[in-house]
Amino acid sequence: MLRIQILNTPRVTSGDTPVKFPYRKAEALFYYLALMKQTNRNHLAALLWWDESEETARKNLRQTLYVLKKTFDFQVIESTDRSNLLFNPEVPCVLDIDEWLNNPETLTQPGAVRVFSGFFVKDAPLFNEWLGEKSAELEQSILQSLEKAFHLAYRQEEWALCEKLAKAMVATDEYHEAAYRFLIDVYGLQKKIYKMQQTFEKFRRLLLRELGVEPSEELRRVFNSHMNQKKDEISGEDFFFGRDRELDLFDTLQKKHAENSLKTVILVSGASGEGKTTLIHRMLSRLDAPVIETHCYEAERHQAYRPLRSLFKGLLDTSGNRSLKPAHLQVLNTYFPGIQHQPIPPSGLSPDLSRENLDLVLLEILEALLDNRTWWFAVDDAQWLDPFSLSFISTLIHYGPGSLGILIGSRTPAEALFKDSSRQAYFHHFPLKPLDFAQMQHFVRAHPHGVTLTAQEQIQLYEASKGNLFLVNSGILVKSTHPDITIEKAVYHELLKSRLQGLEDLDKNILEGLSLFFDYPDIYRLCELLAIDLMDFFNRIEVLKRLKLLKEQIIQNELKLTFSHHLIRDEIYNQMSLGKKKILHLKIARLIEEKLRNESRDRFYYPQLIYHFERSLEPERALKFKILNLDIFFNYTHELYPVLKDGILEDLPGPFPSQDIPQMLTALEKELDATSSLAGGEDPRLLKILLNHMKGRFLIKEGHYREGNQCILAMLKSAKDLESPDYFILGCRQMIYSGIQNHDLDMMDRYINLGIQKAREAAYPYDEAIFKRLRGLYCFLSNDHIQAQENLKDSLATLKTYPDRKYDLHQAAALNYLGEIERSRGDLEGALKWYNEALSLYSELNTTRGMAPILTNKALVYFQTDEFTAAASTIDQAMTIFEKSRTVWKKATALALKSHLEDKLQGKSFTAAGYSEILELASKIGNPEEIAFVKSLDPGKA
């Protein structure tokens, strides 16, 4: 009996003995005839020996047939005549795919779903092509059989079998949307919401990454149907008491908002445990409009704009990005990394925005996404808002569209959070107060647990809880599970301790594990951390939910697991031993660290890494991520032509005001100085390099050249000692930028030479090309135009060979300098050609970083040729970019030229005071050519 397996790795057994084919083409010939049963000799010879002559191919075929006969010791393949071959029908044979397709019961073990997995024949492209087509045909038959069996099992409500069949379909074709729809539906029917959610997101990411499309409406409908059902179940489980006045007022306000797009802002405030979150969720459940929720955490209060990610992601997921300009997409991708699944090219909007300008740009984006539709945005625990998110929400409250209702929960009163807005007619404050004794008695009587308390017990409960709604509820739950317990006059945590009595060890482990996270934990990571089986975990979660210790929430259409109140989380965390907490925090940090990919999206994990490392056995390891976290929000506007990375600018824009940064840097320096060694193999000298680089760049940008240069020199020394070419090259570039700012040609020359030498030693051709561009600038400033052109053209030749657009801004800079050389020689037409070529790169990249100085140079050409209207139009474009950014390079030239042209063309007076301000700016930069040009336009000389 021959058993032929073609599912997964193909193999053949004769009886119980595996058949070993002497070579791959003999095996291929066997499989071909086993499937096709009969074929023509010439066709088979051409299929396997396509590059041989007909005579040689037929000879090889005869030899292979002879070898097969020897392999099996019987005639497995017969000749019907001189032209045709036949798989011997007399040989007892079982083909696994026939057995699999013809016997539905084997579908319950659908592990084998790939046909001829890994089978390939060298030098036989025609056979491999046939094999691919045949495999696809058979896999389609498998899918059809699986789907047929699935529908049969579905009608009979055999959900476990349905799940296996749907998984088999997914394994057979990972792009088969119907299979994912079946699997998601079955998970939902079995209440496996986390698995359903994970499967949906996995398929969604696959489609976006590989095909650039979203799942179909039909799949989304199935997913949303189960999520909405779960949401109804969750809301039905909540016991809600009182707050009738607040709910009635909310109903009135939200109705007016829906009918008239009347601006509505509601702030629910109160102490912890007064029912803010529960009231907000009850309010949201009464809305017909879509809702986006976000939660603020104390651990993220220094992470700029983090709570706003949910708002923009929710709108993008629902509305798509078709209504957004490329500039808007760039801002979203910069401040909310990973919010878009597709790479986003650099945009036309200068990334160099002040906080106020950024707030307005984000508001513009939000209005475009809303498109006048009614939405609600809910922010819980707003007392932990970072200053930048608070600034934006204040702007949103003041100037945002009426179609967006805003609901905020906070322990902080309205006046403290939104001082200017809290007095406006559209701002409504709902302060929540503790229950008085009569209200508490009513609460006890209405409670679904039906606990009866004596008069003395009611007094004791009120004295222990002070009327705090959460603590009153805790006392009732304690009495419902431990009827004999006495509610003593005590502080609240004794009530909480009572609720935790009698828990199984596994339950305690789960609660302790959950308490380690400041946000919603990843369930699968948590199970890995605690070494708990996933099914055991979910079984115990149901118990903990019944005890009202945990609850599930639907946030942004995702099911999240959290504590029923943060006070429970605090109590469990505080009861854990310090040693255990440190060990578990370290494990979590290491699990998160494994997700880092050395790209811009890594910063999404920095707050979590800082939080867990600070509380672990290796707290010093948090320092690295504190430095990286601060570095990504710095803004270095003196570096006009950065490298492009991950589709965005290497130096990401940052909202931190300059006056705040020295204090942040000093704190990091003190922490680093106190650290002599780092766990995990980190070298503190590398962190010192990072810190010196960051501090030096900032000081140079701010014009503190001496102090900034000292930091970069210290960085260079450490990089040399550690033999780190990457950091050495970065340090050389900083010293060159400082030399440019100071017009210090000797400094430029020295560090250009050092940079070129190090780039050559490290075999970094593109870094060498950047230094050659800077060498070209140095030669130009030294009036050596021939050497300048040679270096710039060498730099361009190398940079143009890079396969993507990473170095395009450096190319634009080189083209600009070539234009400057021609302009200085008097070849204005040649200069214009170079400038236009540089500007065309900006058009392709859709960015403005470093564009304003090139436009200023182009305007100077028009000015020198007396084309004043063209000069005025071009300088207006430059000034638009200068005004949106803090870039000052060539700004004095642009301001002077604009003022002069307005005087000449429009009769606007170029005043002596205006001239003095421009000359002061030019003097601060220190570029002799710019100072001379500004002085040439002195209105006093006119």
Q: What are phi and psi of 7, to 5 degrees?
A: -85, 135
For 97-141, give the DSSP string: HHHHHH-GGGGGSTT---BTTT---TT-HHHHHHHHHHHHHHHHH
Category of 381 on φ-ψ map: left (φ > 0), alpha (ψ -120 to 50) or beta: left
Cβ 155 vs Cβ 121: under 8 Å: no
pLDDT at 638 over 60: no
pLDDT at 866 over 60: yes
Percent share of the chain, pLDDT over 70: 88
Length of the chain as a residue count:
942
Distance separating alpha carbons of residues 385 and 305, to the nearest angstrom:
9
Q: How far from 588 is each of 299, 526, 680, CA to CA, in Å?
A: 15, 8, 14
Per-residue pLDDT band at 678 (split at 50, 70, 90): low
pLDDT at 43 over 80: yes
Q: Tell me the CATH number at 392.
A: 3.40.50.300
Report the pLDDT value the prediction gives residue 354, as an integer from 0 to 100: 57
SS3 66: helix
Q: Give kind and range of the element (H or E) at residue 78.
A: strand 77-79
Q: Which two tokens stand for residue 622?
A: 């948090």
Cβ 196 vs Cβ 225: under 8 Å: no
Instruction: State which residues form the domain around 857.
Output: 850-942
3-state helix, strand, coil in the chain (%, to 5): 65, 5, 30
Do 472 and 352 lie in one domain? The reply is no
For 259-282, give the DSSP string: HH----EEEEE-STTSSHHHHHHH
pLDDT at 772 over 90: yes
pLDDT at 322 over 90: no
Q: How far from 761 is each of 752, 774, 796, 812, CA to CA, in Å?
A: 14, 19, 21, 27
Distance separating alpha carbons of residues 829 and 644, to the nearest angstrom:
31
Q: Which two tokens stand for residue 459?
A: 């007094």
Neighbours of 167 (CB within 10 A): 19
Distance separating alpha carbons of residues 203 and 179, to the nearest angstrom:
11
345 located within any domain: yes
Distance separating alpha carbons of residues 547 and 543, to the nearest angstrom:
6
Cβ 795 vs Cβ 776: under 8 Å: yes
Do 305 and 336 lie in one domain? The reply is yes
Do 348 and 416 lie in one domain? The reply is yes
Q: Name, of 235-244, 445-454, 852-861, the range with top average pLDDT.
A: 852-861
pLDDT at 458 over 70: yes
829 located within any domain: no
Q: What is the pLDDT of residues 888-920, one digit of tens each?
A: 778 888 898 888 888 888 877 777 778 888 888
Report the pLDDT value the prediction gives residue 725, as an integer from 0 to 100: 93
The whole-number average pLDDT for the span 64-80 is 85
Do 280 and 357 lie in one domain? The reply is yes
Do 316 and 249 lie in one domain? The reply is yes
Average pLDDT, the chain: 82
Distance separating alpha carbons of residues 49 and 86, to the nearest angstrom:
19
Q: What are phi and psi of 374, to 5 degrees?
A: -80, 125
Q: What is the pLDDT of residues 345-384, one digit of tens each?
A: 444 344 445 566 778 888 888 888 888 888 899 999 998 8
pLDDT at 606 over 60: yes
Q: What are phi and psi of 264, to 5 degrees?
A: -140, 120
Per-residue pLDDT band at 679 (split at 50, 70, 90): low
Check residues 567 and 76 and name the one with the higher pLDDT.
76
Pick from 12, 20, 207, 209: nearest CA to 116: 12
546 located within any domain: no
Beta strands per DSSP E along 619-695:
644-645, 648-649
Per-residue pLDDT band at 873 (split at 50, 70, 90): very high
Q: How far from 645 is each of 569, 652, 720, 805, CA to CA, in Å?
A: 40, 10, 25, 9
The whole-number average pLDDT for the span 460-468 is 84
559 located within any domain: no
Q: Which two tokens stand for residue 480?
A: 């419902």
Cβ 149 vs Cβ 104: under 8 Å: yes
The whole-number average pLDDT for the span 696-711 is 84
Report the pLDDT value the prediction gives residue 767, as an integer from 0 to 100: 92
Q: How far from 360 is each of 176, 265, 317, 879, CA to CA, in Å?
A: 43, 19, 22, 19
Least confident stretch, 4-8, 323-327, 518-522: 323-327
DSSP state of 500: T
The whole-number average pLDDT for the span 239-257 is 83
pLDDT at 488 over 80: no
504 located within any domain: no
43 located within any domain: yes
Cβ 309 vs Cβ 603: under 8 Å: no
Do 398 and 294 lie in one domain? The reply is yes
Do 380 and 254 lie in one domain? The reply is yes
Rounded to a whole number of angstroms, the distance between the first and last alpha carbons of the chain is 108
Do 315 and 246 lie in one domain? The reply is yes
Residue given tokens 């403005």 in the structure block: 848
Q: What are phi and psi of 806, to 5 degrees?
A: -55, -35
Opening angle at CA 405, ends 403 and 407, nearest 5: 170
Do 248 and 397 lie in one domain? The reply is yes
Report the pLDDT value the prediction gives residue 308, as an integer from 0 to 100: 87
Q: End of a domain among 379, 403, 431?
A: 431
Pick from 901, 904, 909, 905: nearest CA to 879: 901
Percent share of the chain, pLDDT over 90: 16
Q: Tell me the CATH number at 915.
A: 1.25.40
Least confident stretch, 131-140, 323-332, 379-388, 709-718: 323-332
- The sign of the dihedral angle between the CA atoms of 418, 419, 422, 424 is negative
Report the pLDDT value the prediction gives residue 633, as an integer from 0 to 100: 59
Q: End of a domain among 474, 499, 524?
A: 499
What's the one-letter identity of residue 595? K
Do 103 and 48 lie in one domain? The reply is yes
Q: Which two tokens stand for residue 361?
A: 């740009």
Cβ 603 vs Cβ 337: under 8 Å: yes
Q: What is the pLDDT of residues 726-761, one digit of tens each?
A: 999 999 999 998 888 777 899 999 999 999 999 999
Report the pLDDT value the prediction gives residue 298, as an integer from 0 to 100: 81
Opening angle at CA 552, ends 547 and 557, nearest 5: 170
Q: How far from 548 is each of 183, 237, 562, 571, CA to CA, in Å?
A: 31, 10, 11, 15
Q: Which two tokens stand for residue 56?
A: 């040689």
Burial of residue 901, with CB atoms counted within 10 A of its CB: 0-12 exposed, 13-18 middle, 19 or more buried: buried
Say what angle helices 276-285 and 244-260 make with each other, to 10 degrees: 40
Do 357 and 470 lie in one domain? The reply is no
Q: Is pTM, for the whole model, over 0.85?
A: no
Q: How many CA atoms lie within 13 A of 734 on its CB side?
A: 31
**Which contacts (CB < 8 Å, 24+ apart) does range 909-914 have?**
909/939, 910/937, 910/939, 911/939, 912/939, 912/940
Per-residue pLDDT band at 386 (split at 50, 70, 90): confident
SS3 39: strand
Report the pLDDT value the prediction gives residue 356, as an integer from 0 to 100: 65
Do 340 and 466 lie in one domain? The reply is no
695 located within any domain: no
Q: How many domains does the chain have?
A: 4
For 675-727, give the DSSP string: -S--GGG--HHHHHHHHHHHHHHHHHHTT-HHHHHHHHHHHHHHHHHTT-HHH
Cβ 734 vs Cβ 760: under 8 Å: no
Distance separating alpha carbons of residues 79 and 33, to the nearest angstrom:
12
451 located within any domain: yes
Q: End of a domain among 76, 108, 137?
A: 137
